[in-house]
Chain A
Amino acid sequence: MGKTIAEKIFDAHLRDEPFSGTYVLDLDRVLCHEITTPVAIADLEWRGKDRVFDNTKIKAVIDHVTPAKDSKTALQGKMLRDWAHRHAIKDFFDVGHNGVCHALFPEKGYIRPGFTVIMGDSHTCTHGAFGAFAAGVGTTDLEVGILKGVCAFRKPNTIRINLTGTLAPGVYAKDVILYVIGQIGVNGATDRVIEFRGNIVDEMSMEARMTLSNMAIEAGGTSGICLPDMTTVDYLWPFIQNDYPSKEAACEDFRRWHSDEDAVYEKVLDFDVSTLEPMVTYGYKPDCVKPVGELAGARVDQVYIGTCTNGRIEDLRVAAAVLKGKKIAEHVRGIVSPATPKIFKDALKEGIIDIFMDAGFCVTNPTCGACLGMSNGVLAEGEVCASTSNRNFNGRMGKGGMVHLMSPATAAASAIAGVIADARKL
């Protein structure tokens, strides 16, 4: 009987099976940010176990609220910073070098096919785009990960989602994943791994695959995995070129993580996305999704472009193409947060930052900021934001505020129109 990629990764990392159906895996990466890690650090100190299992496998960043906005967030940053220095964690990113975790860590080449990755952050599933098993965990799992380098999971039952057809111009990975979540529901993949397959995924860039994998958790998925291929190799090449004689050799090596032809899936879902329209959420759950046409005209007060879902260079390019030579509506506050310093610099070089600023956008430093309503664009009661982020929960961007999720193109078009708008019809 064949195996799925997740099963192969589990086999290769199995440390212990304390009970039937419980798999304790060795971890290749334990990623940390300043919101969920300080409590783990404090607990380890309190237990007299302030140690780390391997300071080269632990990576840390201050990204959610940075630079600190008040004494409390300053303390969270300080706790992470002091801890990283105390344990000589070399890959620690602070002001001037920091960016949104799920954009920054892949960009640094830390995530490789076949890896096991955990982080105290639900969107850790993003890293599955590299053919890794990457899962968001809570602070206790993170704490044990830091101390022992292990994490426990149940059997990785997998739902295979085949995405086929041709994406129409103006339709992006974000629209695909919103559509898929709309189809399977916020509970559709709970406790399951999603394996994204099909020619649509094969043709996607790593950035687009990350957008896809990023939102696996919005359907409840433990991880959202794409199989590693030449696109993966191209992205990682600067970091792996000394390990392989050629790109072809790297690609061949990565194939050992491919699911077998006769792998067993719990479910296989086929979606031909050829007729897909740009999608937008309404309400307070990410599975409340409609084609943009049905929501066009709905009022927006703020437009937010950024985050671990859609704050990468490709996303900024798409938004800039829509914004070029235009002005955003007078009543709209436009905010763009390039997800990492590198993305920021590339956007500067390409003239994208100019386009955003000329259109009337405020450009912030790389941070999560407004995405979770902690800084840099919190909504007031009753306000509405068109956002490229991944979560539209009640109060997510500020108490009493409402969020519509959409692609960077739709967000940019909505900024110009001042209401939800279809970028193809501007």
Chain B
Amino acid sequence: MKKTFGGPAIFLDRSDINTDEIIPAKYLTEVTKEALKPYILEDLKLEGFDPKGQALKNARVLVTRENFGCGSSREHAPWVFEVNGIHTIIAQSYARIFRQNTFNGGMLAIELPKADIDRLFALSREGAVEIAVDLEGQTLKARAGGREETLRFEISPFDKALVQAGGWVEFADARY
């Protein structure tokens, strides 16, 4: 599946969102990624969040706080985002395995300093946020209610190469 980076964003205003919340263990009996689709964020503990809501359905980008994806190593967590069309995640920080899994699948796990994350959350209070990502230039543009924020992001050359190659299997297979 061709990955797209950018689009309407959904905001999850909490730290330490774990992989059990993203995709509960009981669905790990599925052996295809596609089958995970309906269960995205089913057990997320967050006031006002509706895992069956339209906002999540429309979202192509997810913005959240610290230590996103902690807990289990299940790659089902980035997969459930992938099959729901969310190929870009933006957070202040990630759990290591989740971050690596996301890049390994050729998706983006962008890390931004707290001030920038705060800026995005502030923007989200003005209306629906649309985010465009320029991977080459390492910048993203976020728009809402006629206002626009342009933010620079850092990405390690390895992670960038993984996204460009389409994932770690492709990268490793060509090289080792």
Chain A residues near B (Cβ < 8 Å) = 15-16, 18-22, 24, 35-36, 38-39, 42-43, 47, 49, 64-65, 70, 72-73, 75-76, 79, 120-122, 124, 136-141, 143-144, 147-148, 150, 152, 154, 186-187, 190-191, 220, 222, 284-285, 372-374, 391, 393-396, 399
Contacts and interface: CB of A to CB of B under 8 A. Distances in A.
Interface string B44-57: 01000000000000
A139 B66 CA distance: 23
B23 to A, nearest CB: 11
Contacts of B72: 122, 372, 391
Given A15-B176, A76-B29, A140 B21 contact: no
A47 B93 contact: no
Interface of B: 15-16, 18, 20-21, 24-26, 28-33, 43, 45, 66-67, 70-75, 78, 93-98, 100-101, 104-105, 156-158, 161, 167-169, 172-173, 175-176
B97 A138 contact: yes
Query: What are the 7 closest A-B residue pairs judged by CB atoms, nearest first?
Result: A138-B75, A138-B101, A140-B104, A72-B29, A22-B158, A122-B73, A139-B75
Q: Indicate the member of A15, A124, A373, A396 with the most B CB atoms within 10 Å.
A: A396
A137 B31 contact: no
A374 B157 CA distance: 39
Contact of B20 (A148, A220, A394): A394
Contact of A394 (B15, B43, B70): B43
Contacts of A285: 16
A148 B75 contact: no
Given A138-B73, A138-B75, A144-B172, A38 B31 contact: yes
Contacts of B105: 140
B101 A144 contact: no
A220 B172 contact: no
A36 B74 contact: yes
Contacts of A152: 100, 158, 168
Which of B21, B32, B70, B95 has the most chain A CB atoms closer than 10 A to its own CB? B70
B65 to A, nearest CB: 11
Given A138-B97, A144-B169, A187-B93, A79 B31 contact: yes
Contacts of B101: 137-141
Given A121-B73, A141-B168, A187-B93, A148 B176 contact: yes
A150 B78 CA distance: 22
A373 B72 CA distance: 13
A374 B25 contact: yes
Contacts of B45: 284, 394
7 contacts: A15-B176, A76-B31, A147-B173, A152-B100, A190-B96, A220-B95, A393-B18
A137 B100 contact: yes
B43 A19 contact: no
A393 B29 contact: no
Given A49-B173, A75-B31, A190 B93 contact: yes
Contacts of A76: 29, 31
Given A42-B31, A374-B25, A141 B104 contact: yes
Contact of B73 (A22, A73, A136, A399): A136
B74 A373 contact: no
